[in-house]
Amino acid sequence: MQRSTPARNAGRTIAVVAGALAAVLAVGAFAVGGVLLYADGQKGHDGYLTSASHRFHTKTYALATDHIDLHTDAPGWFVDGSGLGHVRVRATSNAGKPVFVGVARTRDVDAYLRGTAHATVADVDYGPFDRFRPSYQTRGGARPAPPAQQRFWVASASGPGSRTLDWKARDGSWSVVVMNADASHRVDTAVKVASNAPWITAAAWTSIGLGAVIAAIAAALLVAGLRPPRAPREPAAGLAPAAA
C-alpha cells in the first residue's frame, strides 16, 4: 500500500504556492498588456498620443525640464532607427511674445544656462478636478544669450504664435528648454507634448504573450499540487494475503 510521505506533501505545497505566485504574475502581465493596448488605441489620426495643453511660467529667462533619461539596452538598430519614435513639443506664448522651444543634451543645456536666471521643472502634480500644478527649482543669475544662436540644439523651433519642434528620440540624457525668442525674462507658455510611441503595440502583445506562458506554467503547477494522491492498489482477485 502506498502512503503519502512528508516529502510528497512538501512538494505538493511548494507546487501550489509557486502556482499561485505565477498566476499573480500572469494577471499582472495581462494587465500591463491591456493598458498598453488601450494607450495605443488613444492615438489620434496622426498616429500620435497627445497630452493636454498646460501652462508653464517663470519670472526668469528660461524654463527647462530636468534631465530626461532615454538610456536603453535595446539593440543599436532600434535606438538609432525609429524604435523610440518621434516627439513633438508645441509651445505657445501666453504673453504674445515670439517663443523658442528646443531639445538638446542635458550637459549642453546645463552649460548654456549655468550662471543664468532660469527655472527647472522639478515635479508635476495632477490635483483634483484636473488641476495641473508644476513645481520649479529657480536659480538667479544673468541673462542668457539668445537661444536660436546656439548650435547645440538637436531640434528647435522659434517664432511668433505656436511653434512645434519634431524630435527623433535618441538614447541619452536630454532636456527641453522653452524661452522667449529674444531671451527676455517672464516666460509664460502653454505646452503640449505628443509622441507616436511605435513600441507600444509590440510591448503590449509581448506582455500578453508572456502572461499566457506564465499562466500555463501556473496551471500546471496548481494541477500538480492540488491533484489528490492516487488510491492504493487493490490486491488481485483470488489472492489471499500472505500469512504472517
Give the pLDDT confidence score for residue 77 in this predicted structure: 43
pLDDT at 69: 83
Where b means 16+ CB within 10 Å and e means fewer, 93-117 reads beeebbbbbbbbbbebbeebbeebb
| CA atoms of 202 and 167, how far apart (whole Å) | 22
The rounded distance, in Å, linking the Cα atoms of 99 and 156 is 11
State the CB neighbour count (10 A cutoff) for residue 120. 20
Which H/E stretch holds residue 193?
A: strand 187-195
pLDDT at residue 127, as a whole number: 60
* Residue in the structure block whose three cell numbers are 520649479: 136
| Mean pLDDT to the nearest integer, 234-244 | 56
Interatomic CA distance for residues 120 and 138, integer angstroms: 6
Convert the pLDDT of each residue in 222-232 to its tens digit.
888 777 766 56
Percentage of the chain exceeding pLDDT 70 = 82
pLDDT digits (tens, 9 = 90+) for 20-47: 999 999 999 999 999 988 887 878 888 8
pLDDT band at 73 (very low <50, low <70, confident <90, very high): low
Outline where 89-167 has alpha helix (H). 106-113
The three cell numbers locating residue 108:
549642453
C-alpha 192/C-alpha 44 separation (Å) is: 14
pLDDT band per the 50, 70, 90 thresholds, residue 72: low
Q: How confident is the model at residue 128 (pLDDT cuts 50, 70, 90)?
A: low
Tell me what the mean pLDDT of segment 67-83 comes to: 58
N residues, the chain: 244
pTM score above 0.85: no
The pLDDT tens digits of the residues spanning 153-188 come to: 999 999 999 999 999 988 889 999 999 999 999 999
| Segment holding 75, helix H or strand E | none
Round to the nearest angstrom and report the end-to-end CA distance of the chain. Answer: 16
Q: How far does CA 217 lie from the centroid of its chain?
A: 28
